[in-house]
Amino acid sequence: MARGTLLRQLIKTGVQGSPDDFRRVSEQIIREERQKQHHLLANDLEKILYGNVAKPYPGLNRIQDKIPTDSERGLPLMFIKEPVHQLEDVVLSEENESVIEQIFLEHRRCDVIKSYGLRSADKLLFYGPPGCGKTLTSEIIASELNLPFAVVRIESVISSYLGETAANLRKIFDFIDSTPMIVLFDEFDALAKERSDAGDHGELKRVVNTVLQMMDAYMGKSLIIAATNHEVILDEAIWRRFEEVLLFEMPDQDHITKLLSVKLRGVRCEFSTDDIDVAQLFNGMSHADIERTLRRAIKDMILCGQEFLRKTHIKKALEREKTRQRRLKNS
């Protein structure tokens, strides 16, 4: 618990109605609780004091109102997602970390870059197995650059009406051209499949050609991220349209250890998060699977009325995860 003097000061600032002093004293209490390793309490207090979400971007309502729609069915072609994660929430390979830092720098200093007649990197391709951070990292880029995070609704973009998919793509590119955003084309393979695919037909060729043309001509204000976990079926010509191509791999031992420390932040554990025996339990699992397992283990700890997470909670959760994976494979 915070010291008596601080509590007195806090109540006094509330009664006197001085918001600046109230914030200062609250921040001091949070600092003290953190020093005492009461991370869960400190996190909760921070959420109450600052709110849970990042600053809203200017003109968000205006952007929402202008989201293009499919002419045949009236479906919105994109949606704006509120970023809730920050850079400290993701575990990245050294290589990806350095590329992303460089992108932040280029975007933060875009005026200098522009003054030399250059453009900040604006087309990135993220590929790799499911659950390894492609969508999460896109969201974090939006959050760090304080830009709206727009996700393309692939299912709305792809239309059974002839020529409509290409028309939808044009609408998206027109929209993102003038409004700075981070735009995620998830499941990008659906739009950029190898044109000589066995099941190929004229419409697919038309769509891929439109994507290539749009990407080549793009000189807009947004940063485009295309993500896929089926990179092998991407058309060969697509790859060179991207300035940076980032591979998101399954975590190795070192990354599992880092992931444990990120995901168990604020949780009291009976083991150390860099215990190699604990990390080894998660070998061969994706980041998302590890996170799901840890969430289950923490819930088990809470429901058992215990305050410390034990290896037994983790082992039990892992068993359930294995059963889940088996069922998914058989379904």
The site partner of 163 among Mg ion, ligand ATP, none (C-beta below 5 to 8 Å per kind) is none
CB 233 within 8 A of CB 197: yes
Does 131 help bind ligand ATP (rule: CB under 6 A)? Answer: yes
Integer angstrom CA distances of residue 269 from 10, 254, 265, 281, 298: 32, 19, 10, 16, 10
Which of residues 10, 29, 63, 91 is near ligand ATP by CB under 6 A?
91
Does 229 help bind ligand ATP (rule: CB under 6 A)? Answer: yes
Of the two residues 143 and 210, which places its CB atom closer to ligand ATP in the complex?
143
Of the two residues 175 and 248, which places its CB atom closer to ligand ATP in the complex?
248
> Per the structure block, which two tokens stand in for 22?
């109230």
Of 43-51, 130-138, 216-224, 240-248: span binding Mg ion (CB under 5 A): 130-138
The two counts, helices (H) then strands (E), for the chain are: 15, 6
Does 135 help bind ligand ATP (rule: CB under 6 A)? Answer: yes
Which of residues 213, 288, 306, 311 is near ligand ATP by CB under 6 A?
288
In angstroms, give the least distance from the CB of 134 to Mg ion. Answer: 5
CA 187 to chain centre: 15
Which of residues 26, 96, 120, 135 is near Mg ion by CB under 5 A?
135
Distance CA 101, CA 123 (A): 15
In angstroms, give the least distance from the CB of 288 to ligand ATP. Answer: 3
Distance CA 10, CA 94 (A): 43
Shortest CA distance to 318 belongs to which of 287, 286, 289?
289
CA 197 to chain centre: 31
In angstroms, give the least distance from the CB of 16 to Mg ion. Answer: 49
Integer angstrom CA distances of residue 265 from 37, 88, 280: 11, 11, 19
Q: List interacting residues with ligand ATP (CB under 6 A).
A: 90-91, 130-136, 229, 248, 259, 262, 287-288, 291
